[in-house]
A and B are shown apart, each in its own frame.
Chain A
């Protein structure tokens, strides 16, 4: 059966059968958009209350951690590498920023506390990224091995920094930033930016319309920066080139080693940003907060159409990939389905994504 099936496409190949392949062509190019749209339609019909702006902005805020991590991973995978350390780099950064914010919180202005937490969190997180890049680029150790080693080192360092306990941040205002909204619409028609007015007697919290959560705004900014970096700059072009062929890139005069180091630093930087965001949103930092997100972030990149062999993928693809996972996770709750099914659904989508990718390549080869 399989042999005869496999023989069919070559029969097509001899004909100029382009028109016959058109539908599949469309499906393969826009399939992830189409799939996302189908998912939203499906859950809107079957899950009562799913189709709601507040649910969607919640999905956006909740997916911010995993998508920020996945954006860094996109650059790494595009360059033909993989970064397994990001989960624990995120945890380490969250611990570092929580330590700083809880130490100086209360004695310094809020802005200083946030900036200090951010600077230290990102700074500490950059170290494993730099080491990853140096060992991979200069000592020629495979990325899988290096970042697996760093996975353990960052995990241990995070636990040592935190003393094995979650580091709690009690500073007023930190949780407000991580959980706040840009816009509050009060029941009497008043608008308030950034925070709620203090004179709110007789207003129940559920009567206030909250719009644009801060994590979602941060996420959009980071996505735009990454999309610009990848599609509009030399850094982005070099990333594709290195992923396509390292040897050809070197001959073309691209500083491959330096570029590789920068990519792993970018990945660690974004993972650390997710860690600092976690600390602000959950008012604590712990070494293991990012670990459950690692594989989801890689899955988002793959569903988004990136090739694990490098050279292919886009920021927008990763955004769609993360959205598909987040919508499945959220939608299944509205259907009341056992959460174990999430794994099966996301797993099936990953395989489907690669199947479509292969079918697409087959089309390109033929035309």
Chain B
């Protein structure tokens, strides 16, 4: 009786030692992984760059990483890539500090918060590290005359322009007349707010031929977006809707689901901002009609190029703001090389 109780409740010494050994073995496995991933390629210079993503593993940032890596290989610099597990300044700041201690030459970063990340990046700059913003900015993004001017450049999409491009493409696809509804994410996110603003400008430019039926926020939930659009379509306003602009993937997918449920697929056109592979699958299945892709790969490659310019004294080639542009993908051009190159890669 005593034996079984002991056996159930606690581990024998042998099991304990085996467990310890397993953990230690795991530790050395980690070390082995580290050894292999940190091996640099044949570099002509000794420069080390780090790309700190807004969140690790997101296809948008993975695509940015691929662009940065390609340029790093071309220019012979060593590129490290890191990022927090959640999009949070609390988690991103210690990573910045660790790379300051690691003494990298250039830090390319998609800051998680425009205010909170100023102090950590100021520390990096004080330590002599060149700081470059990609995708997001710190301060107000104006590195020439804004409150924060130490980063070399802000390389990212112009989201007002992106919203306008999306709006124009959507207006064209509904035949330049009718009504457009905007499904947005959460108030206060600068990028998605700017996309809505751009789309509204495109609608205004039609001088009344196209009207804004309404807009709503879904808190980044496809289920909520679907509910909201379903309610809209069954209301009196529903007949006025010819096109829907989803300011991100979930907003567009949820809207598309509601349109499908209302048997209006094809009659109501849907534009989706951002181009992860899921968005292209949706496009091919006729769930959405337009996909507006940013160019994260260009952000990564330009940032690495700029870093090398800064280290080699070619500062005149560096612009404080680079807007990387967009690709509009629909069913007719989805298989073109330019469109395929713009799709975000998840690995």
Partners in one complex: yes
Total of A-B residue pairs, C-beta within 8 Å: 174
Question: Which one of A289, A330, A333 lies within 8 Å of B90 (CB-CB)?
Answer: A289
Asked if A58 and B98 make an inter-chain contact with CB atoms under 8 angstroms apart, the answer reads: yes
- Number of residues from B at the complex interface, CB < 8 A: 63
**Chain A residue with minimal CB distance to B28?**
A42
B 1-34 binary contact with A (CB < 8 Å = 1; else 0): 0111011111111111001100100110011011
Asked if A359 and B16 make an inter-chain contact with CB atoms under 8 angstroms apart, the answer reads: yes
CA distance in complex: A62, B89 (Å): 12
Q: Which residues of B contact A283 (CB under 8 A)?
A: 115-116, 118-119
- Contact residues, A332-367 vs B (CB, 8 A): 332-345, 348-349, 352, 355-356, 358-359, 361-362
**Chain A residue with minimal CB distance to B53?**
A339
Interface stretch (choices B76-84, B164-172, B241-249, B258-266): B76-84
Whether B277 is near chain A, meaning CB under 8 Å from some CB there, is: no
Interface stretch (choices A46-54, A74-82, A116-124, A227-235): A46-54
Whether B73 is near chain A, meaning CB under 8 Å from some CB there, is: no
Q: How far is the CB of A37 from chain B (nearest CB, A)?
A: 14
Q: Which residues of A contact B126 (CB under 8 A)?
A: 205-206
Asked if B56 and A58 make an inter-chain contact with CB atoms under 8 angstroms apart, the answer reads: no
Given contacts A2-B7, A6-B12, A359-B11, is CB(A164)–CB(B187) below 8 Å? Answer: yes
A sample of 22 cross-chain residue pairs with beta-carbon separation below 8 angstroms, ordered by A number, consists of A5-B7, A6-B3, A8-B13, A9-B13, A10-B6, A62-B93, A175-B119, A179-B122, A282-B113, A283-B115, A283-B118, A291-B88, A333-B95, A335-B38, A336-B34, A338-B33, A339-B84, A342-B85, A344-B26, A345-B27, A356-B16, A361-B10
The 8 closest A-B pairs by CB, nearest first: A6-B7, A335-B34, A336-B38, A205-B126, A282-B116, A55-B101, A62-B94, A284-B115
- Contact surface of A with B, Cβ cutoff 8 Å: 2-3, 5-10, 21, 24, 42, 46, 49-50, 52, 54-55, 58, 61-63, 65, 164-166, 168, 175, 178-179, 204-206, 278, 281-284, 286, 288-293, 326, 329-330, 332-345, 348-349, 352, 355-356, 358-359, 361-362
- Contact surface of B with A, Cβ cutoff 8 Å: 2-4, 6-16, 19-20, 23, 26-27, 30-31, 33-35, 37-38, 56-57, 80, 82-86, 88-91, 93-95, 97-103, 113, 115-119, 122-123, 125-128, 186-188
